Amino acid sequence: MNKNYLIIVPLLAFVSILCNASGASLAATDAGPETMKLEAPAGKKPSKFPHKTHQESFACKDCHHAKTGGGVKSPYVEGMEVKKCVTCHNKDDMSNPQLNSFKLAAHGLCKECHKQNKDSAPTKCSGCHIK
């Protein structure tokens, strides 16, 4: 058997493993963190958000969005930069009083969905908010 074969085959296997591992790592990074701690600017009662669990059931555009130049809500599209919700949903001058804080925006999106899926989602404050 060729000595080079004994060196090249394990080396190629190792490189293949590294490439696959780094690809999986990159995909996980692009998908965002597995779990998040969501905090309102005032820092009151943060919520623990299982991001990966939600990704398994919903499309990114169900939660993430942007605003067009005219201020119209535009759903998430592949490759779009995902900014923190508090980039917009914590400003006092937002025109929609139901969304002019991160808390109101999150509750508007999350609570209604949780009510509709009460068999699999928490519906009490303590189910999401960390003590």
Judge if 22 and 42 occupy the same domain: no
Q: What is the pLDDT of residue 31?
A: 81
pLDDT of the chain along its 131 residues, tens only? 555 444 444 443 433 443 333 333 333 346 888 999 888 766 678 899 999 999 998 888 888 888 888 878 888 888 888 887 777 776 666 677 777 777 888 888 888 889 998 898 999 989 998 87
- Structural domains in the chain (count): 2
CA 64 vs CA 21, 45, 80: distances in Å? 28, 22, 10
Flag whether the pTM goes above 0.75. no
> H/E element holding 74?
strand 73-75
Residues 52 and 12 in one domain: no
Q: Are residues 52 and 109 in the same domain?
A: yes
Give φ, ψ of 75 to 5 degrees. -65, 155
Q: What CATH number should be reported for the domain holding residue 102?
A: 3.90.10.10
23 and 37 part of one domain: no
> Nearest-CA neighbor of 59 among 77, 47, 34, 35?
77
Same domain, 39 and 10: no
State whether 93 and 114 are in the same domain.
Answer: yes
**Residues 69 and 107 occupy one common structural domain:** yes
Give the domain range for residue 23.
1-30
pLDDT of residue 14: 39
Between the two ends of the chain, the Cα-to-Cα distance in Å is 65
Structure tokens at 56: 């398994």
Residues 60 and 5 reside in one and the same domain: no
Residue with tokens 């085959």: 9
38 in the same domain as 26 = no
Domain co-membership, 26 together with 37: no
Give the residue carrying structure tokens 């699999």: 120
Local structure of residue 129 (DSSP, 8 states): B
